[in-house]
């Protein structure tokens, strides 16, 4: 039975003494802005993804924006509508045009066939959004990008460590990552851009810091460290040394945290009633890291279901409703849109269940039992 004293939140950041000590050391050092810990964080990130370049910054949205701006993208960018609005906002603010393609029901990821059908001479980029920790079919998208000469951008905000054929997200195209507290790795607020292109990495690094190609840390070693000449009209998208310290320590346990999520997901798979829910999938050759554990409701009222879970202390939610193409700014704008039947079906049925490394087996069992009970009662 539901326990009124029980509480299983949607997500809790995994922070311990290592992060606290790292932040304290930075505060004691007095170097609070972009500094030495950014370099450590970026180094660990590069090694984890097996990519040559990683640039830390203040958000994934900034990374997406700079991926477009630094590459001079001003035409059409094909992306899913079943995502957080930040993906599309980055396209618009960069001066390009979003073209929304439908997604696959099973994975909730961009459908390669739907995306290819929308490629026109005006298309300049593919922005693939990896949903909830499940990598999209990047082998197929890499082929499409090469065939049509499109920039390939990976919105990997929700998929740090997810893989296809042993290649992690951010290793296929220009990777853009988020470190928001709900993500597999957190710095509170923050982001990272990854690339195999040295020239692009150098340009992005400059754009992050006002268009100046040298960092404060690098200039400290020069004879005249005060010289700061802007090569570009850049931005202030820097990640502080304080937050980078969090990221560097989070990297030390990222794989363990991802494995804990995978363990909890397997337990959910065993306990949830498949007659009531469609569950996440992990296709052969793919590795899911379950930033969220998302089920699809079958034959019952989702709003009442979520209210019932809330009464039982289960912090479930929905990602993403409404989809971007139906939101006021995008619905009113004259952007080309495809037929998004699957997107709208998912937006009306998806439910995000609690998922974080510190969950106990008992927490997972309690959430699953509450879900099965509520769905059965509502489906009568």
Q: pLDDT digits over 324-377, tens only? A: 999 999 987 766 666 799 999 999 999 999 999 999 999 999 999 999 999 999
In this predicted structure, the answer to whether residue 219 has a pLDDT above a threshold of 90 is: no
Best CA proximity match to 123, nearest among 89, 140, 148: 148
CA dihedral sign, ordered 213, 233, 152, 39: positive
Per-residue pLDDT at 229? 84
Q: Note whether residue 10 is domain-resident.
A: no
Q: Note whether residue 179 is domain-resident.
A: yes
Mean pLDDT value across the chain:
95
CA 349 to each of CA 132, 188, 198, 326: distance values in angstroms, whole numbers, following the listed order: 15, 29, 43, 16
Provide the number of structural domains found in the chain.
Answer: 2
Per-residue pLDDT at 5? 78
Q: Are residues 123 and 137 in the same domain?
A: yes
Q: Note whether residue 88 is domain-resident.
A: yes
CB-based contacts of 279, cutoff 8 Å, min separation 6: 268, 269, 272, 295
Dist CA 185 CA 319 (whole Å): 19
Q: Using pLDDT thresholds of 50, 70 and 90, give the confidence band for residue 43.
A: very high
Tens digit of each residue's pLDDT (9 = 90 or more) over 109-149: 999 999 999 999 999 999 999 999 999 999 999 999 999 99
Any idea what the CATH number is for the domain that residue 86 is in? 3.40.640.10
Q: Are residues 237 and 226 in the same domain?
A: yes
Q: Are residues 82 and 213 in the same domain?
A: yes
Q: Are residues 179 and 151 in the same domain?
A: yes
Per-residue pLDDT at 226? 58
Q: Note whether residue 223 is domain-resident.
A: yes
Q: Note whether residue 110 is domain-resident.
A: yes
Dist CA 82 CA 103 (whole Å): 7
Q: Are residues 249 and 273 in the same domain?
A: no
Q: Are residues 188 and 305 in the same domain?
A: no
Dist CA 296 CA 205 (whole Å): 40
Best CA proximity match to 323, nearest among 305, 308, 301, 341: 341
Q: Are residues 199 and 247 in the same domain?
A: yes
Q: Are 133 and 292 in contact (CB under 8 A)?
A: yes
Q: Which domain holds residue 274?
A: 255-378
The H-assigned helical ranges of the chain are 17-29, 36-49, 60-69, 85-93, 112-117, 138-148, 198-208, 216-219, 241-252, 254-271, 302-311, 328-332, 341-349, 361-378
Q: Are residues 161 and 92 in the same domain?
A: yes
Q: Are residues 244 and 283 in the same domain?
A: no
């Amino acid at each position: 039975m539901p326990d009124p004293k029980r509480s299983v939140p949607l997500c809790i950041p995994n922070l311990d003494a290592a992060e606290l000590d790292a932040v304290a050391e930075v505060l004691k050092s007095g170097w609070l802005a972009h500094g030495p810990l950014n370099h450590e964080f970026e180094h660990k990130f590069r090694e984890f993804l097996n990519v040559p370049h990683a640039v830390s910054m203040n958000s994934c949205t900034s990374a997406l924006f700079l991926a477009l701006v630094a590459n001079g993208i001003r035409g059409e960018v094909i992306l899913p509508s079943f995502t957080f609005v930040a993906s599309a906002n980055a396209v618009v603010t960069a001066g390009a045009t979003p073209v929304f393609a439908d997604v696959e029901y099973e994975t909730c990821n961009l459908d390669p066939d739907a995306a290819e059908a929308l490629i026109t001479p005006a298309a300049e980029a593919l922005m693939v959004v990896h949903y909830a920790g499940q990598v999209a079919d990047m082998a197929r998208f890499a082929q499409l990008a090469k065939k049509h000469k499109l920039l390939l951008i990976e919105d990997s905000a929700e998929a740090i460590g997810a893989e296809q054929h042993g290649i992690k997200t951010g290793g296929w195209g220009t990777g853009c990552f988020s470190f928001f507290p709900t993500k597999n790795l957190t710095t509170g607020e923050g982001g990272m851009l990854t690339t195999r292109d040295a020239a692009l990495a150098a340009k992005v690094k400059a754009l992050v810091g006002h268009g100046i190609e040298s960092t404060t840390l690098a200039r400290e070693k020069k004879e005249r460290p005060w010289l700061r000449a802007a090569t570009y009209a850049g931005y202030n998208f820097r990640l502080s040394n304080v937050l980078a310290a969090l990221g560097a320590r989070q990297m030390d346990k990222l794989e363990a945290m991802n494995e804990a999520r995978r363990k909890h997901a397997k337990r959910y798979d065993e306990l949830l009633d498949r007659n009531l829910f469609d569950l996440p999938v992990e296709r052969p050759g793919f590795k899911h890291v379950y930033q969220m554990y998302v089920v699809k409701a079958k034959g019952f009222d989702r709003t009442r279901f979520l209210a019932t879970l809330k009464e039982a202390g289960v912090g479930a939610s929905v990602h993403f409703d409404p989809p971007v193409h139906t939101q006021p700014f995008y619905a009113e704008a004259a952007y080309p849109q495809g037929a998004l039947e699957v997107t709208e079906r998912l937006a009306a049925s998806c439910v995000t269940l609690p998922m974080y490394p510190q969950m106990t087996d008992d927490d997972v069992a309690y959430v699953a039992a509450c879900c099965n009970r509520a769905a059965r009662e509502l489906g009568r």
